[in-house]
Every structure is written in C-alpha cells, then in structure tokens.
Structure 1
Amino acid sequence: MTTNFAEVYNFVLRGNRALPLTAVVEAVFHGTLRYFRERHELAKKHIADNHNTPYCSRAMEYMAKKIEKANKHTVKLIGNQERRYEVQLPTDGFGSTNEVKTHEVKIGTEFYPTCECTCNKPKFLHLPCSHVLVACDQIELDAISFVSPYYLKEAVLKHGQVR
C-alpha cells in the first residue's frame, strides 16, 4: 500500500497514455477507485489478522527494521538537564577515511513526548529513526508513542474507504 498519489496515478495510467483524453480521465477515475477499494480491503484484513498491533503493516515493518538497526548503535548521554544523547553508528571498517558517524538525539518529557534527531527522519517521516529507538531504549521509553496517528490501522481504514 502506498499513499503517494503520483505512484497511484502512474500505475493507473500505465497502458492508457495513447487513448483519447476522455478515456484517460475515465481510466484514471476507475483505476483510482479500484486502488482505494483494494487498500480498504487490505486494511480491513490487517485489522482482523493483527489485533495486538495498533499500527498498519507498513509502519510495523518499518519499526522492525529500525529496531534491528538500532541494536548495532552505541549511545551515550550528553545532556544533564535535557534528555540528549549522542548515537554512534557502526563503521564498515573499509578504507582509510573510516570516520565514526554520530547523530544527536533529543527526547522530550513524559508529559510532552517529542523526539528530534540530526538525521531529521522523525520530522520528515513522522516515524522514529533507529537513533531515537536506541535512545528510548536507554530510558526505557516506548518509542511507539513517536509514531504518527496517521499510521494507525483505523486511520488507514478510514482514509482508504471509497464511498
């Protein structure tokens, strides 16, 4: 499932570009309806099959990959008042310019849960990056709170409906 409408319309238009304009518009309309019907059915199936996960399958797959990646990071606390962490990424050990990559992560309070990272993935994707996940693990905070409500199964079901 994708939410990128450019991808949807490119998929719908495949094979229809040589048709007259009215046929192209009709193909786009019917193809878009078919896409949202299929997306709605997939969301309903995912909700029925996965009662214990609050998020859609794509968000859960993303989180699983990032958790696996986070296990390879090294983290150290650098803030005494704020919850700021320096996360070092493993290097490949190849070449003469083998430098250690680091990211700075800032985690908000329990009352106002926010996360910031110098990689900016949490800001752009509305999903925590592996650096945030490893920092949350240090303070035993559930990083799922940083996943946008957009990725909730019910939101996917609601926005995937065709009326």
Structure 2
Amino acid sequence: MRTENPAMCDWANRMEYERWTQHKDGGRRYGHMTTNISECVNSVLKGTRNLPVTSLVKSTYLRLAELFVVRGQTAEAQLGSGHRFSQVVVKAIERNLKDSRCFTVTVFDRHHLDYTVAETTPTGKFSLGSYRVSLRDRTCDCGYFQALHYPCCHALACCAQSRLDWATYVDEVYTMS
C-alpha cells in the first residue's frame, strides 16, 4: 500500500486498527468484514433504489420478512434432523478435513496443546509452509481459526493427531441450539 500511495498509508495508520482490520477486531465479527456485511444488506435491498421512502421501507420490510421465514424454516429443519451445527459450518469443516490430510503435525506441548503443522502438498488455499497452532488459545498462523471461530484445516490436523474431538473447538454461536 505504501508503494502505491504513501499518503493513503499514512492516513490509514492514523486510524484505530480495530476500525479497518479484521485481525484487530477482538474476534467479534466471526470472519465478516464490515464492508461484507454492508454488501449483504445491499443485496437484500437490490432493486429498491430510487423508490420513494414509503415504498423503500415497505419493500425492505417484505424482503426481510421473507428472508426470516426462509432462514427459520431451514433452521427448524436442521434442528428436527438432529444436526448439532449449522450446515454452513459442517460443509466448511468437511472441506477443512479434506485439506488436513496432506499435513505433517509435530506436537510441541501436549498439555498446552501447541503444535506445528507442515503442509506436504499444496491445498490450493495455502502454500507449502509451516503453521503454529494452539488449540488451547484457538489460534493458527493462517488466521482462519481465530477469525472464524471454528477449526481451520491446520487445527483439524492437530485434533486428528492427538485424537481430540474437533467439535469442542467450534464456537457455540454455530450450534443449532
């Protein structure tokens, strides 16, 4: 950023990092950047621009009511089926489990759950590298574990190595209950 526009970099550095960086958000966004949330709201409101205020409010209300019904039906169906976690997280965990098979795990401290994970083949998302994982602190050098609050592929490899249940490292916000 500094090579492109030094003034912009200086301007950004004067702001509090919590306002514009995900890694300093204190874990409150669960992987969402503020702009992504805004884009999500904009997609719900798509087609309502240039409407009078009353029509805009009515359209927004109807779209959100419909969205709540659809999401509620989906959640009820998952609860009725006995699912423990939301299907979005289950699919992400399944992808991460698939990727975690290509790693070599070294245990550094079994009691404090500290590991190093070396990638042995490229997964497409990561280069061949090495990552430090702390299951106790729920962190990984890749950043996904602490940003999304469920195990990344590196953390899942550590769970498999130590025969630990990965589900205990999924934040309760993702549980169906």
Q: What's the TM-score bracket when you normalise by the shorter of the two chains?
A: 0.7 to 0.9
How far 1:69 moved relative to its partner? 0.6
Matching residue of 1:13? 45
CA RMSD of aligned residues (A): 2.2
Answering whether residue 113 of structure 2 is matched by residue 90 of structure 1, we say no
Letter in 1 for 2:129: K
Query: 1-side partners of 2:103 and 2:72: how far apart?
Result: 37
Match for residue 144 of structure 2 among 85, 107, 121: 121
Question: What whole-Å deviation, never above 9, does each CA across 1:95-143 have from its counterpart, x for those lacking one?
Answer: xxxx8411001222xxxxx422112212111111011111111111101
Cα pair distance change 1:82/1:23, threshold 3 Å: same
Query: 2-side partners of 1:33 and 1:5: how far apart?
Result: 18
Mean Cα deviation higher: 120-129 or 71-80: 71-80
Cα pair distance change 1:27/1:103, threshold 3 Å: same
How far 1:81 moved relative to its partner? 5.8
How far 1:38 moved relative to its partner? 0.8
SS at match of 2:109: coil
SS at match of 1:153: coil
Question: Structure 1 length normalisation: TM-score?
Answer: 0.75
Matching residue of 1:157? none
Query: 2-side partners of 1:20 and 1:126: how far apart?
Result: 41
Query: 1-side partners of 2:133 and 2:61: how far apart?
Result: 44
Q: Is the 8 A contact 1:91 1:101 kept in 2?
A: no
Answering whether residue 94 of structure 2 is matched by residue 71 of structure 1, we say no
Answering whether residue 26 of structure 2 is matched by residue 26 of structure 1, we say no
Matching residue of 2:10? none
Aligned residues: 139
Q: Percent identity?
A: 24
Matching residue of 2:11? none
Query: 2-side partners of 1:64 and 1:84: how far apart?
Result: 23
User: 5+ residue gaps in structure 1?
Assistant: 93-98, 109-113, 155-163
Query: 2-side partners of 1:71 and 1:80: how far apart?
Result: 20
Query: 1-side partners of 2:57 and 2:103: how far apart?
Result: 50
User: 5+ residue gaps in structure 2?
Assistant: 1-31
- Report which structure shows greater RCO (CA 8 Å, sep ≥6): 1
Query: 1-side partners of 2:128 and 2:84: how far apart?
Result: 36
How far 1:7 moved relative to its partner? 4.5
Match for residue 88 of structure 2 among 41, 58, 64: 58
Mean Cα deviation higher: 99-108 or 135-144: 99-108
